[in-house]
Structure 1
Amino acid sequence: MAQIPAGADRSGQLTRKQIGDAWELKARRWLESKGLRLIAANVQTRGGEIDLIMKHGPTTVFIEVRYRKTASFGGAAASVTRPKQRKLLQTARLWLARHNGSFDTVDCRFDVIAFTENDVEWIQNAFNDHS
């Protein structure tokens, strides 16, 4: 009897994590083609995760990657809600502190890469710690 690959359900479908990882890799490559440089991926702290941390010139960019098959419910960008933004801000604050920085000492911004259907939207400075 053939074994089911680890991480796949019985129907051979990819897991949500595998789908998310694939879109994050696509976002990373797309952003690298725009001149950004990867610092870290899938940074996890207590209470949150940041998909990508990259450098854009002197700026540290915290990036949330979202994917939606359709725009029926507002598209991918609309899924980055205020509660999600607060989690991202807190996670970035902790990451910066671990790297001897803070929002006051490091030039940083929060971007969203939103894949909806076949469209990609790069929202630079989508939110900040003052919004």
Structure 2
Amino acid sequence: MTRETAVATGRRFEALAADYLKVRGCRIAGQNFRCKAGEIDLIVTDAESKLIFVEVRFRSSNRFGGASASVTAHKQRRLRNSAKYYLLTHSEFKTHFCRFDVVALSTNRQTNEIDVNWIKAAFV
């Protein structure tokens, strides 16, 4: 059995998070938006036309605080700066209310399935 690269693993869990959000009424407006400030994993709109910048995190265990705990203040700052640039370059969203969410995925040790925790308005 070969080990997935970190990039392939990240893309797989980003796809899982995107599917999870779509089932809950979100529309994917962008994926893996990159600029000098950083990268935004998912950009979605919800039923209320909010523009949501989503950070997707996966951890195989909660030993060090789990997936959501890995979104540090430094990462939040990079996401905010990336979002500012996104809004400057995508004028169609200039009137949308924006927020930052985290989709934290982890492996359930009892069932060996993936648990999903969607944290809305995770930071400002």
**What TM-score, normalized by structure 1, do the two folds share?**
0.84
* Counterpart-to-counterpart distance in 2, 1:108 and 1:125: 9
* Structure 2 counterparts to residues 84-103 of structure 1, below 5 A: 84-100=75-91
* Counterpart-to-counterpart distance in 1, 2:62 and 2:79: 23
> Aligned Cα RMSD in Å?
1.3
| Alignment of 1:69 onto 2:65 | no
* Counterpart-to-counterpart distance in 1, 2:70 and 2:2: 27
Which amino acid in 1 is paired with 2:11? D
Larger Rg: 1
1:83 to 74, 81, 96: 74
Secondary structure at the aligned position of 1:94 is classed as: helix
Which amino acid in 2 is paired with 1:71? N
| Alignment of 1:33 onto 2:26 | no
Q: Shift of the alpha carbon at 1:127?
A: 0.7
Residues 86-128 of structure 1: per-residue CA shift (max 9 Å, x gap) = 00000000000011255xx431110000012232110000011
* Counterpart-to-counterpart distance in 1, 2:87 and 2:40: 12
Percent of aligned pairs with the same residue? 41
Q: Shift of the alpha carbon at 1:47?
A: 2.4
Q: Shift of the alpha carbon at 1:13?
A: 1.2
1:119 to 101, 105, 115: 115
Q: Shift of the alpha carbon at 1:19?
A: 0.2
Which amino acid in 1 is paired with 2:98? C
Secondary structure at the aligned position of 1:28 is classed as: helix
Which amino acid in 2 is paired with 1:120? V
Q: Match for residue 109 of structure 1?
A: 99
Secondary structure at the aligned position of 2:9 is classed as: helix
Larger relative helix fraction: 2
Secondary structure at the aligned position of 1:71 is classed as: coil
